[in-house]
Structure 1
Amino acid sequence: MLIGYYFKLAWLSLKKTPLLSILMIGTIAMGIAATMITSTVSIMMAQDPLPEKSERVFSVRLSSWSPDKAYQLAKGEEVIPPMLTYMDTMNLLEDSKGLRQSAAVMYKSMVRSESQTDKEAKMLRFNSVNNDFFTMFNVPFLYGAPWSDQADREGAALVILDRQTNDRLFSGANSVGQHVYIGKHLARIVGVIDSWSPLPQVFHGPHHAHNLPFPLFTPFQFQVNNNLLSKGEMGWQCWAPLGDGTLETFLASECVWIRYWVELEAAMHRGDYMDYINAYVEEQKRGGRFARENLSKIFNINESLIEDHVVEDDDFIAVWLAAAFLVACLLNCMGLMLIKFYGKGAEVGLRRAVGASKQHIALQFGCETVLIGILGGFLGLALAQLGLRITADIFAHLPAGLMQMSFPLVVMTVVLAVLCSTLFGLWPIYRAAQTQPSAQLKSL
């Protein structure tokens, strides 16, 4: 009952000084909003996209670059190419030393259903992968399933659509067994994936990390068989001339253009797989390839995000700056509380004179700071949601889920506001509780 009474007094006190109360609540709200906006975006951009198995899914990188010149320099050190050649990819796929393994390449082509005309075709992006990719990255299926191992080897004309593309082409019906044109190639649909938006998207490298996954999937060998290759889209890099420029010459070249992923049965098998990679490198050295020092490595998902500079320490500078802004806001709020509580000296003196203890005074003003924190927290939450919505509109190319506060962050916003308000209100509360009744009563 006493706490309820003090909260009632706190509410009446805020109403008596509306301008000062609005300033305190608004100051806390602005600091909380700025902190939560930057924290939400930073946390979402740096989260683990595959937490249940990120420690045992690896990106494979080989030291296959020019014997005369390093791939590139970063802080004076040689960097491993993030992609593999076609020869190395096929060798690793053939050996199949992991539990699952898949190439990952991107390309784009015009797509239409059989019932649509060429004019109705749309340019769409594709994921060129092996069938292990879907289990490795926990891709959910609405209809159908991945293609077979044989289809992988043959590069069969098969395709898997995402839910949005299936809705557009087939009105959301089960389209498994139907066909779509990929350019001039007629491909049979074997599956439709359900809603799926891993963030960050790790499997295609840093430039696509915060985009939604591409809407279609085809077997990796299908892309190769039909020469659906584009340097502008795939970004391949070569250290030797391509000769006559034919597909056969390109596939036999030292150009790197394929990201390669492997899933192991357990993270503890990492050393064994690395031994296999080192043995493979030595074998290639004996065959006249891989003339540079063996710097080959494998990176798990979170290490890959760091290696590709998707997640960097600098990303959290904005969070620290927002936190510093919050502290500045709270210091201003503390100054306003001192002014407010000092102005109530006569009231405190009278209460002390009729028997209220220092603890009662501290509890009364403590309830007021908590109420200020609660109101500031909810206003800050509203401002944060507005800020995230504006940010999402500005960066419309990013997934909508990137700009949404999770429920724990929503709760933490209000709790943080109350804790900060209470913490920075301790000094004003202490000063108010030290008020001497005699000194105040003389001024009445």
Structure 2
Amino acid sequence: MFQYYFLLGVRSLRRNPALTALMVLTLAIGVAASVSTLTILHVMSGNPIPHKSDRLFVPQFDNGPLESYKPGDRANDQQMSYRDAVNLMAGKAGERRTALFGIGMPLEPERKDMAVFIVRGIATGGDYFNMFETPFLHGQGWAPAADQRGDDVVVISRKLSEKLYGDADPVGRRVRMGGFDYQIVGVLDTWSVVPRYQHLDSADGAFGDEDDMYVPFATAVRHQVDRNGSTGCQGNVEPGYQGFLDSECTWIQFWFETASADRAALQSYLDSYTAEQRKLGRLLRHSPNKLYNVMEWLEFNKVVDNDNKLSVWLSSGFLLICLVNTIGLLLAKFSVRAAEVGIRRALGASRREIFTQFLIETTVVGLVGGVLGLLLAFGALSLIAMQSKTLSVVAQMDWIMLLTTFALAVLAAVLAGLLPTWRACQVTPALQLKSQ
């Protein structure tokens, strides 16, 4: 019976192609507008590492001065001082731990046909690669001893490797950056994390390109590599690089990985650490220590801002307007078929059968509108992606949004068809037969 009604619906739509095309186009435009903004929000707010996001934590404590501080004020700084980062790295809390900060250096290629260019990356600990499950194309990360010694080793991206060496495996070769020779120990495969939760303070933000290279944290400090990121300093800072390291300036991101989702032990460790530091005359604000898992960290940093959410609400309102127009078109279409409904009712068709037939007909409109809406959504996302590099990262439709497009189109058509279908079922057969 469903197949029979489906074919009837297709034939009915073909009777008035202009009205059908108008209904399909109205529905498709509303669906495309809604799905385009919803896709961007879906990508931006997605969980970048769902299987362990509840085991990765960012610590936050306030090391600011007492001046102008009021108890209860929120600590807005994402980062920590060098002293705290080194102390936490030396501790045994968590299964893995790493400090990191953005860096930039001039790279001097071996090839004579290439000029010196700037590469940007991260100075971090060796646990970084296992903690964030980075995919390696060649080699691996550096050994723990390299962290302690501050060896001149580097892991580079696949993009940088292909630029310098083509398809060859460069592991073991040396590359000169910032006036020092670094031995390549690994090459990361393409690693597009959206959003880039592990380093939100990067110059490119949460939706920038992947990093060019990674060097040991201690190595970058020893070579006084230029920082590529924000720095917050309060109070006096002694002159020189060592004076900067000894200060309370915050410029380092830190991550813990725990063996389980139980954060109580890690919280207890942080509380004990800050208590010890207060005995040394630091962290005098006594503000509560915080731990943020991945999704909490994204929320704290407002990766998805109110403008993105407002866009979704506005596009949903536009879809609602399109539905209202589709309802009007369906009412007009079904009203001229009153005689047909009267004859079918007189021949024994029940109201339920009439309702089913017309509802399936609106479902056909939804399916066609879904296909057209999907094409329009792809076009809209392509135009959005052309606006900036950041938008090109988030304007990508996955299979979830692909299914959502069809489901939304069919649901919208069914909802729009409920009132016209109900009105069609109220036709009185006797009146229609008498008028013929």
> Given residue 114 of structure 1, which amino acid in structure 2 is its aligned partner?
E
Q: Which residue of 2 aligns with 1:412?
A: 404
Q: Which residue of 1 aligns with 2:290?
A: 297
Shift of residue 399, structure 1, vs aligned partner: 5.0
Q: Which residue of 1 aligns with 2:241?
A: 247
Q: Is the 8 A contact 2:109 2:175 kept in 1?
A: yes
Once residues 61 and 319 of structure 1 are traced to their aligned partners in structure 2, the CA distance between those partners, rounded to angstroms, is 32
Identical aligned pairs, as a percentage?
35
Q: Is the 8 A contact 1:113 1:179 kept in 2?
A: no
Q: Which residue of 2 aligns with 1:264?
A: 258
Once residues 80 and 433 of structure 1 are traced to their aligned partners in structure 2, the CA distance between those partners, rounded to angstroms, is 61
Q: Is the 8 A contact 1:29 1:380 kept in 2?
A: yes
Unpaired runs of 5+ in structure 2?
A: none
Shift of residue 342, structure 1, vs aligned partner: 0.2
Q: Give 1:275's match in structure 2, choosing from 268, 272, 290.
A: 268
* Corresponding residue pairs, total: 434
Once residues 153 and 213 of structure 1 are traced to their aligned partners in structure 2, the CA distance between those partners, rounded to angstroms, is 26
> Given residue 131 of structure 1, which amino acid in structure 2 is its aligned partner?
G
Q: Which residue of 1 aligns with 2:301?
A: 308
Q: Is the 8 A contact 1:61 1:80 kept in 2?
A: no
Once residues 2 and 19 of structure 2 are traced to their aligned partners in structure 1, the CA distance between those partners, rounded to angstroms, is 23
Once residues 156 and 291 of structure 2 are traced to their aligned partners in structure 1, the CA distance between those partners, rounded to angstroms, is 30
SS at match of 1:19: helix
> Given residue 61 of structure 2, which amino acid in structure 1 is its aligned partner?
L
SS at match of 1:341: helix
Q: Which residue of 2 aligns with 1:96?
A: 92
> Given residue 98 of structure 1, which amino acid in structure 2 is its aligned partner?
G
> Given residue 267 of structure 1, which amino acid in structure 2 is its aligned partner?
A
SS at match of 2:208: coil
CA distance change for structure 1 residues 395 and 419 in 2, over 3 Å: closer, same or farther?
Answer: same
CA distance change for structure 1 residues 216 and 70 in 2, over 3 Å: closer, same or farther?
Answer: farther
Q: Which residue of 1 aligns with 2:160?
A: 165
CA distance change for structure 1 residues 192 and 70 in 2, over 3 Å: closer, same or farther?
Answer: farther
Shift of residue 367, structure 1, vs aligned partner: 2.0
Once residues 98 and 65 of structure 1 are traced to their aligned partners in structure 2, the CA distance between those partners, rounded to angstroms, is 26
RMSD: 1.9
Q: Give 1:391's match in structure 2, choosing from 381, 384, 387.
A: 384
Q: Which residue of 2 aligns with 1:354?
A: 347
Once residues 404 and 256 of structure 1 are traced to their aligned partners in structure 2, the CA distance between those partners, rounded to angstroms, is 35
SS at match of 1:217: strand
CA distance change for structure 1 residues 389 and 70 in 2, over 3 Å: closer, same or farther?
Answer: farther
Once residues 78 and 65 of structure 1 are traced to their aligned partners in structure 2, the CA distance between those partners, rounded to angstroms, is 11
Q: Which residue of 2 aligns with 1:55?
A: 54
Shift of residue 78, structure 1, vs aligned partner: 2.5
CA distances 1:89-110 after superposition (whole Å, capped 9, x unpaired): 1111111322111111001111
CA distances 1:121-167 after superposition (whole Å, capped 9, x unpaired): 22121111100011011111111111111111222111111111111
SS at match of 1:394: coil
Shift of residue 87, structure 1, vs aligned partner: 0.9
Q: Is the 8 A contact 1:106 1:125 kept in 2?
A: yes
CA distances 1:322-376 after superposition (whole Å, capped 9, x unpaired): 2222222112111110110001112222333333332332222122111101001
2:126 equivalent to 1:134:
no
Shift of residue 442, structure 1, vs aligned partner: 3.0
Once residues 411 and 76 of structure 2 are traced to their aligned partners in structure 1, the CA distance between those partners, rounded to angstroms, is 47
CA distances 1:149-208 after superposition (whole Å, capped 9, x unpaired): 111122211111111111111112211001111121111100001111111111222561
CA distance change for structure 1 residues 3 and 276 in 2, over 3 Å: closer, same or farther?
Answer: closer
CA distance change for structure 1 residues 3 and 289 in 2, over 3 Å: closer, same or farther?
Answer: closer
Shift of residue 259, structure 1, vs aligned partner: 0.5
Q: Which residue of 2 aligns with 1:186?
A: 181
Q: Which residue of 2 aligns with 1:364?
A: 357
Once residues 108 and 116 of structure 1 are traced to their aligned partners in structure 2, the CA distance between those partners, rounded to angstroms, is 22
CA distance change for structure 1 residues 274 and 306 in 2, over 3 Å: closer, same or farther?
Answer: same
CA distance change for structure 1 residues 386 and 144 in 2, over 3 Å: closer, same or farther?
Answer: same
CA distances 1:376-420 after superposition (whole Å, capped 9, x unpaired): 1111111111111111111224454x2222112212211221122
2:424 equivalent to 1:443:
no
SS at match of 1:378: helix
Once residues 91 and 231 of structure 2 are traced to their aligned partners in structure 1, the CA distance between those partners, rounded to angstroms, is 24
SS at match of 1:385: helix
Q: Is the 8 A contact 1:102 1:133 kept in 2?
A: yes
Q: Which residue of 2 aligns with 1:214?
A: 211
TM-score by length of 1: 0.93
Q: Is the 8 A contact 1:25 1:373 kept in 2?
A: yes
2:418 equivalent to 1:426:
yes
Once residues 287 and 396 of structure 2 are traced to their aligned partners in structure 1, the CA distance between those partners, rounded to angstroms, is 43
Q: Which residue of 2 aligns with 1:26?
A: 25
CA distance change for structure 1 residues 327 and 80 in 2, over 3 Å: closer, same or farther?
Answer: closer
Q: Which residue of 2 aligns with 1:176?
A: 171
Q: Is the 8 A contact 1:281 1:294 kept in 2?
A: no
Q: Give 1:382's match in structure 2, choosing from 362, 375, 383.
A: 375
Unpaired runs of 5+ in structure 1?
A: none
CA distance change for structure 1 residues 86 and 206 in 2, over 3 Å: closer, same or farther?
Answer: closer
Shift of residue 313, structure 1, vs aligned partner: 6.0
Q: Which residue of 2 aligns with 1:342?
A: 335
Q: Give 2:314's match in structure 1, choosing from 321, 333, 336.
A: 321
Q: Is the 8 A contact 1:126 1:216 kept in 2?
A: yes
Once residues 12 and 37 of structure 1 are traced to their aligned partners in structure 2, the CA distance between those partners, rounded to angstroms, is 32
CA distances 1:278-337 after superposition (whole Å, capped 9, x unpaired): 111111111111121232212111111111121356643322222222222112111110
